[in-house]
Amino acid sequence: MTDSPGTADPAAGRPRVVVDDATIGYDKRTISERLSMEIPDGSFTAIIGPNGCGKSTLLRALARVLAPSSGTVLLDGKAIGAYKSKEVARRLGLLPQSSLAPDGIRVADLVARGRAPYQNLIHQWRPSDEDAVAAALAATRLTELSGWLVDELSGGQRQRVWVAMLLAQDTPIMLLDEPTTFLDIAHQYELMELFRDFHDQGKTIVCVLHDLNQAARYADHLIVMRDGRIVTTGTPRDVITAELVESVFGLRALVAPDPVTGTPSVTPLDPRTATVHPVEPRDPDTDHEPSPPRRQEKESTR
């Protein structure tokens, strides 16, 4: 297992989020056995892997939605289950895969629910709450829509409302569970840009993603999982190779630098032509002839 950068001294400089020998699963079904990993502080970490590999399960354990049956998830050096629930909620927030908006709720009301960890019986709406909600609405460009019913919004706008709620929670660590699923491509990138802004503002982002190109483009640290285990970790450039894509996802693909960002980009090979005319690249680091025309074809069909 590759070690992440910046963790040379395990005692003093341990990251804020550490999984120590944890077995995670549902009821009797174990997903990950004796898993250990850590999230580098201040990183934009993407967890990738095929369906059912345990990436969302791991994220849910990090968010203490799921308690490990053995081992621990540590937050700032202490078992996450040993904190008061609100205390955790001020340090780490989760954007779940699916949340339910109550019937007839309006945008600002839903975003304001992100302030729950700061509220108590007698203080339900302090000036700081209102400021945080206003800032979250502005950052997600929802200020104009704040009085709308959530039901009236488009899918992309609705997802932004949930992101705004997480932002209003004002946590230094944000866990995002497949945030771009079900969105069209423009809204996917809009959302990823938003997360990059949050990262630039100093937040640690942990994001479960399906799209390898998005992961490579936005994350600075990747965790690759398969069958409940961590296959490898590291920077996108080091991790994303044709060999890895084939061994982890069972997909033969061409990995070439993205012409826009230079980060690795994955283009699946055509299984038919690949069998007839094997064009599998031998060396993933070099540019290949077939790639530019392919990409042009893609763009022209848009």
Partner 1 sequence: MSAGRVAFGYRTRTLRSRWVSGRVGLRSVVVSTALFLTALGLGAVALTHGDYPLTLQQVFAALTGAEQGFERTVVLKWRLPIVIAAVVFGALLGIGGAIFQSLTRNPLGSPDVIGFDAGSYTAVVVTILVIGKGGYWWVAFAAIAGGLTTAFVVYVLSYRRGIQGFRLIIVGIAVSAMLVSVNSYLITRAEIEDAMTVGFWAAGSLARVTWTPLVPALAIAAVLIVSAALLAPALRRLEMGDDAAVTLGTRPGPVRLGLIVTGVATAAVVTAAAGPIVFIALAAPQLARRLTRSAGVGIPAAAGMGATMLAGAHLLSLLIAQAYRPVPVGLITLCLGGGYLIWLLIRETHQRYGLTR
Distance CA 130, CA 112 (A): 8
Q: Residue 146 Cβ, how far from partner 1 at the closest point, in Å?
A: 5
Binding site for partner 1 (CB under 8 A): 26-27, 60, 63-65, 84-90, 93-94, 96-110, 112-114, 116-117, 119, 121-127, 130-131, 133-135, 137-138, 143, 146-149, 166, 169
Q: Residue 63 Cβ, how far from partner 1 at the closest point, in Å?
A: 6
Residue recorded with tokens 């999982």: 225
Q: Residue 24 Cβ, how far from partner 1 at the closest point, in Å?
A: 15
Which of 90/210 has CB closer to partner 1? 90
Which residues are within 8 A (CB) of 129 and not within 5 positions of it... i.e. 6 or more apart?
112, 115, 118, 119
Distance CA 214, CA 232 (A): 18
Which of 28/302 has CB closer to partner 1? 28
Q: Residue 144 Cβ, how far from partner 1 at the closest point, in Å?
A: 9
Which of 109/246 has CB closer to partner 1? 109
Q: Residue 198 Cβ, how far from partner 1 at the closest point, in Å?
A: 16
Residue recorded with tokens 């053995």: 70
* The pair of three-digit structure tokens given for residue 163, joined into one six-digit string: 């992101």
DSSP class per residue in 252-268: -EEEEE-TTT-SEEEEE
DSSP letter assigned to residue 234: E
Which of 127/278 has CB closer to partner 1? 127
Which of 175/266 has CB closer to partner 1? 175
* The pair of three-digit structure tokens given for residue 264, joined into one six-digit string: 């690795």
